[in-house]
Amino acid sequence: MRLLSFRAGGRDRFGIARDDGIVDLSARLDENARSLGALIAGDVSRARAHEDAAKPDFALDEIEYLPPIARPGKIVCIGVNYGNRNAEYRDDSDAPRYPSVFMRTPESLVGHGQPILRPPESEQLDYEGEVVVVIGRRGRRIAREAAWQHVAGLSLMNEGSVRDWLRHAKFNVTQGKNFERSGAWGPWLTTPDDIAPDTPLHLTTRVNGELRQDDTTSNLIFPFDYLISYLSTFMPLAPGDIIATGTPTGAGARFDPPRYLRHGDVVTVHVPELGTLENRVVDEALDR
């Protein structure tokens, strides 16, 4: 089942994405499920009864896609998590023993089809295609073997990075990862009953149709279940929290010379089981 948040008819809504259109759950469920985040925190199975509605409420081209969860409690991002990414840094460092972790704010991400902003402060906006884990059940110190029980679904992210702002301080990357509307996630979350936990997900990222990143999650250094267990050791994971699990080699900064994003570029992140996240880059207006 593919669950999404969207805008139609002047209202923010949530529902089920089908091949033939959108089933509007906000018009079918009671007030205890006013958003997709509230549905995840309650009982996602309630949506199943409406999955096979005879007729969708909206066509796919009638809606504006929103980030699947409007205000995630936590947006946790993992760095350098594909097997050959550490070598990409060319610093002769050993493979990491533990994940590199940083946080993003909700304002830094937009939905599928919405423009990504290239800030005037930098010429180094870059793309990073990633698979996202959406938490559906609260937990602390979650055992790896129980991790999948805490997953509401999987989604996609372009974890946009402003590269020169990643190096403004010695020990953090927060500034370069949190420019407003510099990344995106969506278009929906796909529930775990549609994906076996051990399925190797084939992730590709294209810029203007040109293949830049191409790898599978079987190459992750720290797989989904480990990340959930590790992160929940020091903080509770709650419904609606999201974990961006890392990007493969091939980001623009790693080319010689670097190939950063420019106004008008289109970034497309794709996993067959999870759909396609696509966004156009536009220069941010200073007077907005």
Q: pLDDT band at 277, cuts 50/70/90?
A: very high
CA 232 to chain centre: 19
pLDDT tens digits for 190-226?
A: 999 989 888 999 999 999 999 999 999 999 999 999 9
The residue type of 233 is: T
**pLDDT of 86:** 54
Query: Which of 80-89, 101-110, 235-244, 266-275 has the least mean pLDDT?
Result: 80-89
**pLDDT of 33:** 77
Judge contact between 82 and 215, C-beta under 8 A. Answer: yes
E strand or H helix at 88, and its extent?
helix 85-88
Tracing tokens 């008008």 back to the chain, one arrives at: 264
Query: Which of 11-15, 47-51, 58-62, 102-106 has the least mean pLDDT?
Result: 47-51
Q: Tokens for 55, please give them.
A: 């007729």
**pLDDT of 253:** 94
> Can you tell me the mean pLDDT for 158-182?
94
pLDDT tens digits for 52-103?
A: 877 899 999 999 999 999 999 999 999 999 987 655 555 566 778 999 999 9
Q: Does domain 69-283 have CATH number 3.40.605.10?
A: no
Burial of 185: CB neighbours in 10 Å, binned 0-12, 13-18, 19+: buried
> 275-283 and 116-118 as β-strands: parallel, antiparallel, unpaired?
parallel
Q: Tokens for 181, please give them.
A: 């509307």
Judge contact between 141 and 114, C-beta under 8 A. Answer: no
Question: Cα(169)–Cα(39) distance, rounded to whole angstroms?
Answer: 39
21 sits in the region (left: phi over 0; alpha: psi -120 to 50; else beta) called left
Find the length of the chain.
288
CA 26 to chain centre: 23
Confidence (pTM): 0.94
**pLDDT of 46:** 87
Spans of all domains in the chain? 2-65, 69-283
Return the biggest CA–CA distance within the chain.
Answer: 59
**pLDDT of 41:** 92
How many C-beta atoms surround the C-beta of residue 163 within 10 A?
18
Average pLDDT, whole number, for the chain?
A: 93
Tracing tokens 């896609």 back to the chain, one arrives at: 65
**pLDDT of 210:** 98
pLDDT tens digits for 115-158?
A: 999 999 999 999 999 999 999 999 999 999 999 999 999 999 99
Q: pLDDT band at 8, cuts 50/70/90?
A: very high
**pLDDT of 171:** 80
Judge contact between 36 and 3, C-beta under 8 A. Answer: yes
**pLDDT of 76:** 98
Judge contact between 25 and 14, C-beta under 8 A. Answer: yes
Question: Cα(216)–Cα(228) distance, rounded to whole angstroms?
Answer: 19
